[in-house]
């Protein structure tokens, strides 16, 4: 796949496969990793995993609202191998002590904690994301209300700097740009203990990039699905224009 690159404000966006793009970036050039990879968790059998992502993760009345996304058909063994590959390449790109934080769900949580260690990161913990009661209800069962952030560091990290919450309670956005879209506020909170530039190998619709823009952090995002790449570019261009207007207004009133 040919790699395409866009520069928007403090963000650099790549259209291409994450493993291929990561191999082209400079070692030691990033301050942290925050990303939301495809979980490959929507089915116990091969036939179930091979269904379109809209069928696995959306009710029938909502199908067709968002583009499908790639890379969600792996079983747990191949998911572990693939996760170890990208996490290992990402670790080569960050500075000593940098944080890596990657999303997962309850099915893939054990595999993800294995993968981050297999890739050489020091596993530091799990941060739950409480999606509030907006999470999908299940009659006669507990509500599917949480996803998780597995995080670790590239070697030792000094006990210094700000403190971030250990649990984030943020509702799923009413207006989403991705089947698995997450709130910008959640990403911004996770970034509160990270340094830039921030690496996001699975950019999706660019939510981490928007949070980086809010915080003034440089951002590098990678996305393999052209439809979502274009959505991310559009959202970041809009954010960049809004920042320019605000800056111009502030300068004019000075």
* Nearest alpha-carbon partner for 79 in 55, 54, 43: 43
Whether the Cβ atoms of residue 108 and residue 143 lie closer than 8 Å to each other: no
Whether the Cβ atoms of residue 225 and residue 177 lie closer than 8 Å to each other: no
E-strand stretches of 71-214:
94-104, 122-130, 146-153, 168-169, 198-200
Which residues, 6+ apart, have CB-to-CB distance to 116 below 8 Å?
83, 87, 100, 102, 123, 150, 151, 152
Burial class (CB in 10 A: 0-12, 13-18, 19+), 70: middle
> Where along the chain do its domains lie?
4-46+66-253
pLDDT of amino acid 250: 54
H or E element at residue 133: none
pLDDT of amino acid 41: 76
Q: Which residues pair with 12 in a beta bridge?
A: 7, 220
pLDDT of amino acid 75: 87
3-state secondary structure of 223: strand
pLDDT of amino acid 138: 83
Which residues, 6+ apart, have CB-to-CB distance to 40 below 8 Å?
49, 71, 72, 73, 74, 75, 76, 79, 108
H or E element at residue 62: none
pLDDT of amino acid 234: 96
**Predicted confidence pLDDT, tens digits, the chain (254 residues):** 689 999 999 999 999 999 999 999 999 999 999 999 998 875 555 555 566 655 545 555 555 566 665 667 788 899 999 999 999 999 999 999 999 999 999 999 999 999 999 999 999 999 999 999 877 788 999 988 999 999 999 999 999 999 999 999 999 888 887 677 899 999 999 999 999 999 999 999 999 999 999 999 999 999 999 999 999 999 999 998 887 665 555 555 55
Which residues, 6+ apart, have CB-to-CB distance to 107 below 8 Å?
39, 41
Look at the domain 4-46+66-253 and name its fold: Rossmann fold (3.40.50)
pLDDT of amino acid 174: 82
pLDDT of amino acid 199: 98
């Amino acid at each position: 796949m040919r790699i395409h690159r866009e520069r928007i404000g403090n963000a650099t966006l790549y259209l291409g496969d994450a493993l291929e793009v990561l191999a082209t970036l400079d070692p030691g050039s990033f301050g942290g990793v925050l990303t939301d990879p495809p979980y490959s968790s929507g089915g116990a059998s091969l036939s179930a995993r091979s269904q379109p992502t809209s069928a696995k993760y959306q009710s029938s009345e909502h199908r067709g609202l968002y583009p499908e996304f790639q890379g969600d058909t792996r079983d747990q063994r191949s998911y572990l191998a693939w996760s170890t590959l990208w996490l290992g390449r990402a670790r080569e790109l960050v500075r000593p002590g940098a944080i890596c934080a990657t999303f997962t769900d309850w099915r893939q949580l054990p595999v993800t904690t294995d993968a981050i260690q297999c890739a050489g990161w020091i596993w530091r913990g799990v941060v739950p994301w409480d999606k509030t009661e907006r999470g999908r209800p299940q009659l006669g069962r507990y509500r599917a209300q949480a996803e998780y952030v597995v995080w670790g560091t590239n070697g030792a990290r000094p006990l210094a700097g700000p403190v971030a919450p250990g649990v984030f309670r943020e509702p799923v956005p009413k207006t989403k740009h991705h089947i698995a879209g997450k709130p910008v506020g959640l990403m911004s909170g996770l970034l509160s203990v990270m340094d830039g530039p921030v690496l996001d190998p699975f950019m999706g619709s660019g939510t981490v990039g928007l949070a980086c823009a809010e915080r003034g952090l440089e951002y590098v995002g990678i996305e393999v699905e052209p439809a979502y790449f274009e959505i991310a570019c559009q959202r970041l261009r809009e954010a960049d224009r809004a920042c320019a207007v605000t800056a111009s207004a502030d300068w004019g009133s000075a």
